[in-house]
Amino acid sequence: MTTPLPFNRVHITKHELEYVRQAIEGSHLSGDGPFTKRCHEWLERTTGTAKALLTHSGTAALEMSAILADAGPGDEVIMPSFTFPSTANAFVLRGATPVFVDVDPRTLNIDPARVRDAITERTRALVPVHYAGVACDMSALMAIAADEDLLVIEDAAQALLARGDGRPLGTIGQMGALSFHETKNVTSGEGGALLVNDPALLERAEIVREKGTNRSRFFRGLVDKYTWVDVGSSFLPSELQAAFLFAQLEHAEQITARRVAIWDAYHEELASLERDGLLQRPLARPDNGHIYYVLLKSEKVRRGVISHLKSTGISAVFHYVPLHSSPAGMRFGRTSGPMHVTDDISERLVRFPVWPDMTGEDVARVVAAVGQALETDR
């Protein structure tokens, strides 16, 4: 019987259960308990952000950023079409219009030239997405934003411990959103964090996260009672999530190093298939080894490869259906310029399993199965 090789499997550090037990025994199960504070301290120390705020998902972090950006009806927010719906939904919920632009074929990240062409008098913010942990061209995007007086909100859901221009991703724009979903490098099952890099946003960020109240100021003794002062929602994760996450964060460097090693092994072993013209390997290497993908010749070839891998017990998957061509994207957003790269790569991209406890033999098994599928398709 073939041993299944899943697309993802969470690495357990062996401290998760102990920390969850400590949280339970500490009788603080709601948000902002001791483990939440430890996670905040780790993120602030590691990334250098002015303030890290845990959320119950990466989507929630993006929704917080949309509120803090004062995005609303009549506003436009520029983002890639090649991203997850949460990137757009966060702003659609505020009444703003996502404006979809094409990506750079080298990085699969938002193309700064397309961004400049998409700006109108209604543009409020740019939302670059660091696909697979590869940095967007943040120097170009920040220069455009400065010229046009726009906010930059980094969707860094896949980018923990990755860098761009020598800085941690998620800390270059005014805000950055992280995800700790089960598929991310470190996880709490569901979870996220908003990195607040602009000091002018710090106090309001706490208020938005605390259901629109100044509760955090009350607990610091800065006001004698707390009350509703702004729009907000319940964005806090439970202390149980934070306890699990802290165990992961303590080992984030080791987890990341292992993923990078798996990424490098794929890249080396797939080189011969690329030389034979059967696939294209990534042109940019992520610092954190989050995703390993290849581009195949066509959607038909991709279907064949995924099907063959499945028959051998290996789970490989495609990625985003472009937002600009999705039903909700056509309803709530608009497209700026041609989408040739997005349309092309979305049909040909396939992702292979990457998780820390994979072995070299696992990688070799995937590569061999891919080679068999592509030879059959010749």
The whole-chain average pLDDT of the chain stands at 96
pLDDT band per the 50, 70, 90 thresholds, residue 222:
confident
pLDDT score at 251: 98
pLDDT score at 377: 61
Given a cut of 80, whether residue 136 has pLDDT beyond it is yes
> Each residue of 2-36: pLDDT tens digit?
899 999 999 999 999 999 999 999 989 999 999 99
Report which of residues 222 and 75 the model is more confident about: 75
Q: pTM, whole model, 2 decimals? A: 0.96
Given a cut of 70, whether residue 1 has pLDDT beyond it is no
pLDDT score at 219: 74
Helix/strand/coil percentages in the chain, nearest 5: 45, 15, 40
Q: What domains lie within the chain, and their CATH numbers? A: 16-250 (3.40.640.10), 253-377 (3.90.1150.10)
Whole-number Å distance between alpha carbons of 109 and 129: 6
Q: Quick count: other Cβ atoms within 10 Å of Cβ 298?
A: 11
Nearest C-alpha neighbor of 237 from the set 48, 59, 65: 59
pLDDT band per the 50, 70, 90 thresholds, residue 221:
confident
Report which of residues 214 and 265 the model is more confident about: 265
User: What angle is formed at CA 46 by the lines to CA 42 and CA 51, rounded to 5 degrees?
Assistant: 70
pLDDT score at 318: 96
Whole-number Å distance between alpha carbons of 131 and 346: 13
pLDDT band per the 50, 70, 90 thresholds, residue 149:
very high
